[in-house]
Chains A and B, each alone.
Chain A
């Protein structure tokens, strides 16, 4: 039957983004032209940043042209029955595709490349983010045509809400039987914040009309600038280390010089020398050095109160906060820090013997993990600044501190394991190097990460080095255990994973 069909538009958005208003603009525009139109939505409680959809059907011919005939419009979007699919966020665009609402024969996709991370992407202990590239590829593969750009950025730049930008992009797609001017009229008729919304609308329209180059991939990394005193060490690194490790080693040297001093940077390079040999012997093509160099620099610049104090009064940091808040250099601002060191943190900067005595005493008294010194410090006040400055000044005595001694010992053990492992298998050595990733953070987080590392070391790394666990099995086991350790803070996944490995390799675990 060749009677006219409605043009169908499915909008995916998050609660609170103004999808309802966007829908009402489109409905008003269609009504203005006398086109039969119907919209539905399922707001419910999805308004609170949950994913939600709006569905609109518009007849491409006016009610007058249809005579007395009234179309029966659908309330639910049909799988494979969508002409235009618009999404305010990339993951939601992916959800629309997974739902079957985007088809090669007819669906044009208008979607923002911006991400608003879902809870489980954010709560992961490592990196839980969904791969955006995969989502973009899925859009490219399944849509008839597409318009992808960062609508969030366009909204910010134009001072509008994202819904206005979406409307512009929808109008610009040319898939609806509604001219641009009619949409603008609908925005004006709505009245509220019309000027801002029109600016957003035009931004969306512009994006649709010109071929947008994909945004330059800024990686957002802040690298240290050159330091004259490191020229010699950097040249040595370039000469002695494989090419794959150069960039990382240079960054590591600068990081550690800023963290401590040139001597400490020297120690870093010295520690990499045996790894370089191990790498060459194992035929790891420089990858083992590169990965170890990366983790070693991070481990050597461990997070103690001295480093935190350094960061807090770093002029670059104050400048960043000013920029984030769109402040000029003369605008007053207060920056209040939340610090709550415990006994162990405070002891970390004391000499080892004294620190051990205090920690031992506190442990007997049951103070560890219970006694903290909470403080809120106004960094830009004179007293606040002086406190951080005094802490930062402890940098000079850091090499004599308890924490320093502990960290260096652990680092040496880890490096030795990498070296020994390289003799068995280059993959095993790389897996052990990668386990350093588990050790990060402060307080409980640090203790948990260290504890997980220690369990993996005891149950898998040592048996592998002792030859009781075959290297090939150990490579897989360590990789799985590391992934499991980052799954839940309670350590359930890691415990299950280790139990599973023990079942699979009874001999090795029997040796334990």
Chain B
């Protein structure tokens, strides 16, 4: 894994009377153990990767408690794990990145939600929305609504998050429905503290196994005819039970205020931002005391109609603070008020943006607009509007002063084994012409940014080959699909490869075999060279492809740019029909560097011979065209002012972070760029022979008239 969680594992062991300090997502992890879960599963992805990573490292603690942890191969298998809670009084939790993970899991979730559960079942979703998000912008609440699962959206405050996790299991059991708990990106990474409780050993677990399966009960199946009964139960039994539980346990919160003829209904996750906006407008302090009454929905679904009515009654208007589209909560509130014939105006979208994250600016603007529109008694609305304007007025001039700035998206690491494949693809396209490229999810999606700017579509994780299925037959040349090994095992092997072979498709698939799911934090996957238990899981992509029946199969070391170019051209030009797979083989450089650096440091300390390779550019030979950078895109390949007093364009340079992967030399060679690149091999702790050879060469060159050359 990318980082060690040894310290975090210690905090999972805290007991009553101690204080937990750490990230939101780890507070959730601790809360799961305090809730007595029997099993945990999930699929990694920002922002929830840490939950699983810590669980994996906390093996001893979990064994002691009897908690079973599974690092699933995709979200569907994680969701299906919750099936254990249909028949058994087992609490379980699974986690993934949403919306995408929920999409993958949807089938299992529907079939879980229909029969319902007897053990508390919880889905922790990292809502990857807004700044820093890496997926399409949709709302997970849609799944809760359509499948009658409950959605918790706790305000980003560690004690509240922990309380909602614990209460969420009780809610699930009280209403026999699965519960989703949503945390936005920043809430996953927010730091704070809460008073820990002792961990709870589950009643049944690996340490105390259940005595056999229950009697056959057709009602536990998601299969007709009982699905019709289950559909009715969702509405007639589970929904009221859930509403009663939420009301009784006061999961939602109301904060009073003196401007009582208006109010704000905010989703829990947006509470802190809303309060800060009020504070900056002079309508609150930072301790939660606001002049406008606030109804904080820590439970986004279901709403509790009585609570909604009680809050809105006597108010002329309320503002619903709900990020993203559609405005489900705003609609539900409208419906409840209409049903009760309450005339409070419901404002939301329109005052606030319909799309996009609710940043501090959006909220200040929106709140000011709402108050200007509704003019609550006892508030100087004009002064407030002026104040809102003053808070944000400086921004346009500041942006103007700075001028246009180049974007800086994430990119392939220095030495990344995937970058050379795109260098090769770029070079191959010079001869082959442009090709359709189906991109996929993973680090290789960075090729969609400069300097490669490659990729015609991204249809989801492991979907690249499948998304080219109808392109190939309609295009005058073969499409190329790029997929990582993570995506391959996530579902690409079935959705893509098997489907292509089954349909006797054509086309090219490049599988990036770097040995980890790197973009999510270097987790192991089925074809990794090691696993959390130590030994390699033993699944091999090449053998799998061969077993599936792939005939045209090549494995190319990714740094061999010329070989990769030749292989790509062969695959494009081959008269042979059928799927052509190129396994681009090269270990993730992040993982490799961590290992190699430690090994080299050890060897240096022991006085052993270590050869360190670094690349360089001759600044006297480089003329500053930067073709090399356009073909490589390495973060360590940069520019610097030309040392030539007569030239102004900056020249290329290799900065200190170079790990000596050799791509720049390979590209310079394969693309016939220029003779500026060189490789310097520095020998630390040289042997006596090294020194002797060095001296001898220098002598001979000196005798030939080049004394200074070797000096």
Contact surface of A with B, Cβ cutoff 8 Å? 1, 3-6, 14-16, 27, 31, 37-52, 69-81, 91-92, 94-95, 97-100, 102-104, 116-131, 134-135, 137-138, 141-142, 156, 219-223, 248, 251-252, 255, 294-295, 297-298, 303, 308, 311-315, 317-319, 321, 324-325, 327, 329-340, 342, 372, 374, 379-382, 385-386, 389, 437, 440-445, 449, 489
**Interface: B679 (CB within 8 A):** yes
Choose from A78, A338, A441 the contact partner of B360 (Cβ within 8 Å).
Answer: A78
Q: Tell me if B665 and A97 are in contact (CB < 8 A).
A: no
What is the distance, in angstroms, from B324's C-beta to the closest C-beta of chain A?
Answer: 16
Q: Would you list which residues of chain B between 169 and 187 have a CB under 8 Å from chain A?
A: 185-187
Q: Tell me if A123 and B187 are in contact (CB < 8 A).
A: no
A51 to B376 Cα, complex, angstroms:
42
Q: Tell me if B272 and A331 are in contact (CB < 8 A).
A: no
Choose from B650, B678, B705 the contact partner of A338 (Cβ within 8 Å).
Answer: B678
Q: Tell me if A332 and B711 are in contact (CB < 8 A).
A: no
Could you list 19 A-B pairs, sorted by A, with CB under 8 Å? A39-B189, A44-B133, A72-B275, A78-B276, A99-B395, A116-B638, A121-B406, A122-B637, A124-B626, A125-B626, A220-B643, A294-B646, A298-B647, A303-B621, A318-B710, A318-B711, A336-B679, A340-B669, A381-B697
Q: Tell me if A443 and B450 are in contact (CB < 8 A).
A: no
What is the distance, in angstroms, from B360's C-beta to the closest C-beta of chain A?
Answer: 4
Q: Tell me if B391 and A329 are in contact (CB < 8 A).
A: no
Q: Tell me if B639 and A79 are in contact (CB < 8 A).
A: no
**Interface: B134 (CB within 8 A):** yes
A312 to B360 Cα, complex, angstroms:
57
Q: Tell me if A120 and B21 are in contact (CB < 8 A).
A: no
What is the distance, in angstroms, from B696's C-beta to the closest C-beta of chain A?
Answer: 9
Q: Which residues of chain B come closer than 8 Å to A39, judged between CB atoms? A: 189-191
Q: Tell me if A51 and B395 are in contact (CB < 8 A).
A: no
How many of B's residues come within 8 Å of A, CB to CB? 119
Residue on A with the closest CB to B706? A385
A298 to B624 Cα, complex, angstroms:
13
Residue on B with the closest CB to A301? B646
**Interface: B287 (CB within 8 A):** yes
A123 to B691 Cα, complex, angstroms:
41
Q: Which residues of chain A come closer than 8 Å to B649, judged between CB atoms? A: 126-127, 437, 440
Residue on B with the closest CB to A442? B674
Choose from A77, A122, A374 the contact partner of B669 (Cβ within 8 Å).
Answer: A374
Choose from A14, A100, A220, A441 the contact partner of B395 (Cβ within 8 Å).
Answer: A100
**Interface: B166 (CB within 8 A):** no
Most buried by B among A1, A3, A44, A443: A44
5 residue pairs, one from A and one from B, having the closest CB atoms: A42-B132, A50-B410, A315-B708, A100-B395, A78-B360
What is the distance, in angstroms, from B22's C-beta to the closest C-beta of chain A?
Answer: 10
Q: Tell me if B191 and A118 are in contact (CB < 8 A).
A: no
Hey, what's the 0/1 contact readout for B666-710 against A, CB within 8 Å counting as 1?
A: 001101111101111111001000110111011011001110111
* Extra A-B contacts (19), CB below 8 Å, given A116-B638, A298-B647: A43-B132, A43-B189, A45-B46, A80-B394, A123-B451, A123-B630, A221-B642, A303-B623, A318-B711, A321-B678, A321-B680, A330-B691, A337-B678, A380-B698, A440-B625, A441-B623, A444-B671, A444-B673, A449-B625
Q: Which residues of chain A come closer than 8 Å to B285, judged between CB atoms? A: 1, 3
Q: Tell me if B46 and A44 are in contact (CB < 8 A).
A: yes
What is the distance, in angstroms, from B458's C-beta to the closest C-beta of chain A?
Answer: 14
Choose from A51, A91, A97, A99 the contact partner of B401 (Cβ within 8 Å).
Answer: A97
What is the distance, in angstroms, from B608's C-beta to the closest C-beta of chain A?
Answer: 15
Q: Which residues of chain A come closer than 8 Å to B271, judged between CB atoms? A: 72
Q: Tell me if B673 and A123 are in contact (CB < 8 A).
A: no
Q: Known interface pairs A74-B276, A318-B710. Does A119 touch B406 (Cβ–Cβ under 8 Å)?
A: yes
Q: Known interface pairs A48-B443, A80-B392, A303-B621. Does A248 touch B646 (Cβ–Cβ under 8 Å)?
A: yes
Q: Tell me if A42 and B185 are in contact (CB < 8 A).
A: yes
**Interface: B563 (CB within 8 A):** no
Contact surface of B with A, Cβ cutoff 8 Å? 21, 46-47, 128, 131-134, 156-157, 185-187, 189-192, 271-273, 275-276, 279-280, 282, 284-288, 359-361, 364, 391-392, 394-395, 398-399, 401-403, 405-413, 443, 446, 449-451, 519, 614, 616, 618, 620-621, 623-627, 629-630, 633, 635, 637-650, 656, 665, 668-669, 671-675, 677-683, 686, 690-691, 693-695, 697-698, 700-701, 704-706, 708-711
Q: Tell me if A71 and B46 are in contact (CB < 8 A).
A: no
Q: Known interface pairs A49-B411, A386-B704. Does A440 touch B624 (Cβ–Cβ under 8 Å)?
A: yes
A445 to B630 Cα, complex, angstroms:
12
What is the distance, in angstroms, from A244's C-beta to the closest C-beta of chain B?
Answer: 15
Q: Which residues of chain A come closer than 8 Å to B644, judged between CB atoms? A: 221-222, 298
Choose from B286, B394, B402, B623 the contact partner of A135 (Cβ within 8 Å).
Answer: B402
What is the distance, in angstroms, from A260's C-beta to the closest C-beta of chain B?
Answer: 16
Q: Tell me if B398 and A44 are in contact (CB < 8 A).
A: no
Q: Known interface pairs A27-B191, A75-B186, A312-B618. Does A336 touch B678 (Cβ–Cβ under 8 Å)?
A: yes
Q: Which residues of chain B come closer than 8 Å to A308, judged between CB atoms? A: 621, 675
Q: Tell me if B408 and A50 are in contact (CB < 8 A).
A: yes
Q: Tell me if B273 and A76 are in contact (CB < 8 A).
A: yes
Q: Which residues of chain A come closer than 8 Å to B639, judged between CB atoms? A: 117, 121-122, 129
Q: Which residues of chain A come closer than 8 Å to B157, judged between CB atoms? A: 72
Q: Tell me if B680 and A141 are in contact (CB < 8 A).
A: no
Q: Tell me if B394 and A321 are in contact (CB < 8 A).
A: no
Residue on B with the closest CB to A297? B646
Q: Tell me if A97 and B398 are in contact (CB < 8 A).
A: yes
Residue on A with the closest CB to B276? A74
Choose from B47, B451, B625 the contact partner of A119 (Cβ within 8 Å).
Answer: B451
A51 to B675 Cα, complex, angstroms:
33
Q: Which residues of chain A come closer than 8 Å to B288, judged between CB atoms? A: 70, 72
Q: Which residues of chain A come closer than 8 Å to B641, judged between CB atoms? A: 219-221
Q: Known interface pairs A124-B626, A318-B711. Does A40 touch B693 (Cβ–Cβ under 8 Å)?
A: no
Q: Which residues of chain B come closer than 8 Å to A489, judged between CB atoms? A: 627, 630
Most buried by A among B276, B360, B624, B646: B646
Q: Tell me if A79 and B410 are in contact (CB < 8 A).
A: no
Q: Known interface pairs A123-B450, A332-B694, A339-B675. Does A71 touch B701 (Cβ–Cβ under 8 Å)?
A: no
Residue on B with the closest CB to A313? B709
What is the distance, in angstroms, from A456's C-beta to the closest C-beta of chain B?
Answer: 17
What is the distance, in angstroms, from B679's C-beta to the closest C-beta of chain A?
Answer: 4
What is the distance, in angstroms, from B141's C-beta to the closest C-beta of chain A?
Answer: 20
Q: Which residues of chain A come closer than 8 Å to B192, judged between CB atoms? A: 38
Q: Known interface pairs A222-B644, A298-B647. Does A125 touch B450 (Cβ–Cβ under 8 Å)?
A: no
Q: Which residues of chain A come closer than 8 Å to B410, judged between CB atoms? A: 15, 45-50
Q: Known interface pairs A71-B286, A123-B629, A334-B680. Does A49 touch B635 (Cβ–Cβ under 8 Å)?
A: yes
Q: Tell me if B402 and A331 are in contact (CB < 8 A).
A: no
What is the distance, in angstroms, from B245's C-beta to the closest C-beta of chain A?
Answer: 26
Q: Which residues of chain B come closer than 8 Å to A141, judged between CB atoms? A: 401
Q: Which residues of chain B come closer than 8 Å to A321, judged between CB atoms? A: 616, 678, 680
Residue on B with the closest CB to A220? B641
What is the distance, in angstroms, from B251's C-beta to the closest C-beta of chain A?
Answer: 18
Q: Which residues of chain B come closer than 8 Å to A294, judged between CB atoms? A: 646
A290 to B460 Cα, complex, angstroms:
58
Choose from A297, A311, A342 the contact partner of B672 (Cβ within 8 Å).
Answer: A342
Q: Tell me if A98 and B398 are in contact (CB < 8 A).
A: yes
What is the distance, in angstroms, from A43's C-beta to the closest C-beta of chain B?
Answer: 7
A51 to B640 Cα, complex, angstroms:
21
Q: Tell me if A127 and B191 are in contact (CB < 8 A).
A: no
Choose from A31, A298, A336, A389 the contact partner of B706 (Cβ within 8 Å).
Answer: A389
Choose from B187, B286, B677 the contact partner of A75 (Cβ within 8 Å).
Answer: B187
A69 to B422 Cα, complex, angstroms:
56
What is the distance, in angstroms, from A335's C-beta to the closest C-beta of chain B?
Answer: 5
Q: Known interface pairs A98-B398, A129-B650. Does A38 touch B678 (Cβ–Cβ under 8 Å)?
A: no
A315 to B709 Cα, complex, angstroms:
4
A72 to B709 Cα, complex, angstroms:
67
Residue on A with the closest CB to B404? A130
Q: Which residues of chain B come closer than 8 Å to A385, judged between CB atoms? A: 701, 704, 706, 709-710
Q: Known interface pairs A42-B131, A141-B401. Does A441 touch B287 (Cβ–Cβ under 8 Å)?
A: no
